[in-house]
């Protein structure tokens, strides 16, 4: 029986989450095009350079937070339901967390878009970018919206844990099905990681923005943010890994190489994700070098689970290709289904993540980070990671998942087959040029990165060639977003029934099954305790140093960012 018929409520929640995610992708993706044209100087007619920061905040929040997290909540609802083969325990909780996340998103969105109307006396803005570093101040509803959104994700995790406990009571002694294990392990990591941003926003920034407390310590706020800000990247990545481990092997025509190895990888992310956050603060004064060195060591450890993933997933793809006649050391690549848009998008996303991972390794080196920090190199890195490893995986798996949760056959299939290639080419152009421009010293997060007397010298074709690549890449990426949304929109408007879906949701058993692997792998409580100890080791002493300094230090009052002149007239 099709998923949509067997689990209609869960299918509806998955569709709702995808719907919010794709609308965020449309708006955020358009702003990405505006940014590429504006900051390269090719066209600055969409917005003024002061409005650029409203655009950039919207681009970051809508794509890095709303698109990714709503999508993963839809994917996780499907994965838990499918793998446990049971509906949610109480759909009121399910629609409750969706409603809370949506309300939080709407509040934060009003604050952000209010920035376009600052000149009309509407003093609501949030031009603080997606990291909302104080002392820049946003309107209180921005922070309140963020808090509601995070609580919504906590309740979503509770919903999935309730399904698991209900399943456990009927399947005593059985191993947790792999997809459910991946969801629960990701949520364990998320609960630990969000403590930082929850304290920053609820204890400090909401009262600070309401005038209930006068100052906050910017360094302490940044530290609480990056306590969360590094592991959030794995909250985006692990849903993609769930797809790469459990769906990509099937689409390749094969089976997952090893279930136990997949569980080891997710456990390593529980343990190692949060302790590395200081690697975003190598340049911050006030944090002793020793703590930064520990963060660097932790960061290099966290390469391991991804390198294991590269091995396992590629081995699974090769197994699939060889089942279909693939031969040779790499000739088997030709036997993969490159005409299947779900496979192609997911495989190209993984390939691109290899490059993103290696630029992450460069970022992680304390000394070399001095060269790339706050330059365009960093956006080059994260457009390969969250911008492709996660985003392209989410788009591509939708070609396979949406027909199952809607019962509708994918429309515009020819457009879907080309879309991943357009994205891939656009991102190769834009990201490589961003990395290289960053090495010339081009800064990130600026509307007009030209400065009197400053000449960016170097590179094959000079800064002009890089600017051109960024613009062409940005245009291709927007075209790829438009193609994806056209396919999703046409399918959504289409009717059920008629020809078969082209997809089926069955997932073959792994080559190496969980049976016989140590039962301790499934002991999530143990892994959470060890992770909490590692976090305490990494953060207690530096935080104490900051807090004791922080209480004594004057701190900063809120600095309202510009209330912008109207863009319309
Ligand atoms: Fe990062 C900054 C280091 C991973 C996202 N990162 C950022 C920012 C974002 C971000 C958004 O150490 C900017 C935040 C801001 O606004 O300031 N990052 C790393 C490291 C990793 C890493 C070491 N980042 C990610 C992921 C992200 C992400 C994942 C989002 C999803 N990053 C940093 C550092 C900074 C940073 C510093 C601060 C820079 C600064 O100064 O501001 C590692 O986790 C990477 C490990 C990955 C690998 C690759 C393994 C290869 C695989 C591919 C397999 C192939 C397949 C398919 C499946 C070692 C798994 C093959 C296909 C065939 C056809 C065969
Ligand atoms: Cu990080």
pLDDT in tens, 160-173: 999 999 999 999 99
Residues in the chain: 569
| Rg for the chain, CA atoms, rounded | 23
Across the range 442-447, mean pLDDT stands at 95
Does 334 score more than 70 pLDDT? yes
Lowest average pLDDT, out of 18-27, 39-48, 429-438, 498-507, goes to 498-507
Confidence (pTM): 0.96
Paired with 216 in beta bridges are 556
Q: How far is the CA of 374 from the centre of ligand 2 (A)?
A: 13
Nearest to 508 by CA among 251, 195, 158, 193: 251
Looking at per-residue pLDDT, the higher value among 117 and 518 belongs to 518
Q: Tell me, what's the pLDDT at 562?
A: 60
Ligand nearest to the CA of 356: 1
pLDDT digits (tens, 9 = 90+) for 528-550: 999 999 999 999 998 888 888 76
Say which ligand is closest to the CA of 337. 1
Report how far ligand 2's centroid is from the alpha carbon of 399 (Å): 30
Instruction: Please tell me the predicted confidence (pLDDT) of residue 569.
Output: 38
Over residues 367-382, the pLDDT tens digits come to 999 999 999 999 999 9
Is the pLDDT at 568 greater than 60, yes or no? no
Per the annotation, the verdict on 280 as an active-site residue is no
Annotated active-site residue 381? The verdict is yes
Mean per-residue pLDDT for 300-327?
Answer: 96
pLDDT at 121: 66
* 383 tagged catalytic: yes
The answer to whether 21 and 70 have CB atoms below 8 angstroms apart is yes
Asked if residue 564 has pLDDT above 60, the reply is no
Percent of the chain with pLDDT over 70: 97
Lowest mean pLDDT among 42-46, 370-374, 430-434, 564-568: 564-568
Q: In whole numbers, what is the pLDDT of the chain averaged over residues?
A: 94
Q: Count other C-beta atoms under 10 Å from residue 522's C-beta.
A: 19
Query: Do residues 224 and 372 make contact, with C-beta atoms less than 8 angstroms apart?
Result: no
Q: Does domain 3-552 have CATH number 1.20.210.10?
A: yes
Report the C-alpha dihedral over residues 349, 353, 356, 360, rounded to 10 degrees.
150
Beta carbons within 10 angstroms of residue 562's beta carbon: 13
Q: Whose CA is nearest to atom 64 of ligand 1?
A: 347
Ligand 1 atom having least distance to the Cα of 354:
51
Judged by DSSP in three states, 166 sits in helix
CA 382 / ligand 1 centre spacing (Å):
7
Q: What is the mean pLDDT of residues 476-484?
A: 98
- Measure the CA–CA gap between 86 and 159, rounded to whole angstroms: 13
Rounded mean pLDDT, 483-499: 93
Tell me, yes or no, if 445 is annotated catalytic. Answer: yes
- List the shell of residues around ion ligand 2, using CB closer than 5 Å: 230
Q: Which of 221-235, 316-330, 490-504 is the least confident region?
A: 490-504
User: What is the share, in percent, of the chain residues with pLDDT greater than 90?
Assistant: 87
Measured distance CA(72)–CA(230) in Å, rounded: 18
Residue 555: both structure tokens together: 């701190």
**Are 270 and 510 in contact, with CB atoms under 8 Å apart?**
no
230 in active site: yes
- Residue 470: the pLDDT is 98
- The atom of ligand 1 lying closest to the CA of 369 is 41
Assess whether 495 carries a catalytic annotation: no
pLDDT tier at 565 (50, 70, 90 boundaries)? very low
Each domain of the chain, given as residue ranges in start order, spans: 3-552
The number of the ligand 1 atom at minimal distance from the alpha carbon of 309 is 60
Q: Which of 479, 400, 395, 467 is nearest to 437 (CA)?
A: 467
Under a CB-based contact definition with an 8 Å cutoff, are residues 510 and 255 in contact? yes
CA of 324 to the centre of ligand 1 (A): 32
| Site residues for ligand 1, CB cut-off 6 Å | 131, 233, 236-237, 244, 279-280, 299, 302-303, 306-307, 309-310, 313-314, 317, 347, 350-351, 353-354, 357, 360-361, 363-364, 369, 373, 378, 381-382, 385-386, 389-390
Residue 197 has pLDDT above 50, yes or no: yes
Mutation test of ligand 1: which of 385, 397, 446 has the most ligand atoms closer than 8 Å to its C-beta?
385
The yes-or-no answer on residue 399 being catalytic is no
């Amino acid at each position: 029986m099709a998923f949509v018929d067997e689990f209609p409520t869960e299918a509806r929640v998955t569709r709702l989450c995808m719907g919010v995610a794709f609308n965020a992708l449309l708006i955020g993706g358009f702003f990405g095009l505006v940014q590429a044209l504006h900051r390269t100087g090719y066209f600055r007619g969409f917005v003024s350079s002061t409005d650029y920061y409203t655009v950039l905040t919207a681009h970051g929040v809508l794509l890095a937070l709303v698109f990714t997290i709503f999508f993963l909540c839809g994917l996780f609802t499907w994965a838990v339901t499918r793998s446990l083969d049971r509906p949610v325990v109480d759909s009121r909780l399910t629609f409750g967390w969706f409603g809370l996340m949506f309300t939080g998103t709407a509040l934060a969105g009003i604050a952000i878009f209010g920035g376009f109307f600052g000149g009309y006396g509407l003093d609501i803005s949030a031009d603080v970018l997606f990291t909302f570093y104080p002392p820049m101040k946003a309107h209180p509803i921005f922070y309140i919206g963020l808090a509601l959104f995070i609580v919504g994700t906590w309740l979503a995790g509770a919903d999935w844990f309730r399904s698991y406990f209900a399943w456990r009571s009927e399947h005593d002694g059985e191993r947790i099905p792999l997809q459910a294990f991946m969801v629960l392990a990701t949520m364990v990591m998320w609960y630990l990681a969000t403590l930082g941003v929850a304290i920053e926003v609820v204890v400090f920034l909401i009262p600070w923005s309401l005038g209930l407390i006068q100052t906050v310590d910017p360094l302490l706020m940044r530290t609480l943010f990056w306590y969360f800000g590094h592991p959030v990247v794995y909250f985006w990545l692990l849903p993609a890994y769930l797809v790469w481990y459990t769906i990509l092997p099937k689409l390749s025509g094969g089976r997952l190489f090893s279930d136990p190895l997949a569980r080891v990888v997710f456990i390593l992310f529980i343990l190692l994700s949060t302790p590395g956050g200081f690697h975003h603060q190598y340049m911050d004064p006030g944090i002793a070098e020793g703590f930064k060195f520990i963060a660097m060591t932790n960061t290099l450890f966290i390469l391991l689970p991804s390198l294991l993933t590269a091995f396992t997933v590629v081995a699974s793809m090769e197994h699939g290709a060889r089942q279909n006649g693939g031969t040779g050391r790499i000739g088997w690549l030709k036997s993969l289904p490159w005409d299947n848009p779900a496979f192609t998008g997911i495989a190209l996303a993984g390939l691109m993540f290899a490059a993103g991972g290696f630029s992450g390794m460069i970022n992680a080196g304390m000394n070399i980070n001095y060269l790339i920090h706050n330059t365009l190199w960093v956006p080059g890195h994260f457009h390969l990671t969250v911008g492709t490893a996660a985003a392209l995986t989410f788009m591509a798996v939708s070609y396979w998942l949406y027909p199952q949760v809607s019962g509708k056959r994918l429309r515009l299939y020819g457009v879907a087959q080309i879309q991943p290639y357009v994205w891939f080419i656009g991102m190769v152009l834009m990201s490589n040029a961003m990395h290289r421009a960053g090495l010339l010293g081009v800064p990130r997060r600026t509307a007009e990165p030209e400065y009197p007397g400053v000449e960016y010298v170097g590179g094959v074709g000079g800064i002009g060639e890089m600017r051109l690549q960024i613009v062409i890449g940005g245009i291709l990426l927007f075209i790829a977003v438009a193609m994806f949304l056209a396919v999703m929109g046409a399918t959504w408007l289409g009717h059920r029934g008629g020809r078969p879906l082209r997809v089926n949701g069955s997932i073959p058993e792994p080559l190496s099954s969980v049976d016989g692997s140590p039962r301790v792998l499934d002991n999530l409580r143990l892994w959470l305790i060890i992770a909490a100890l590692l976090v305490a080791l990494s953060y207690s002493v530096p935080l104490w140093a900051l807090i004791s300094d922080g209480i004594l230090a004057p701190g900063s009052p809120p600095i309202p960012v510009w209330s912008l002149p109207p863009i319309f007239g």
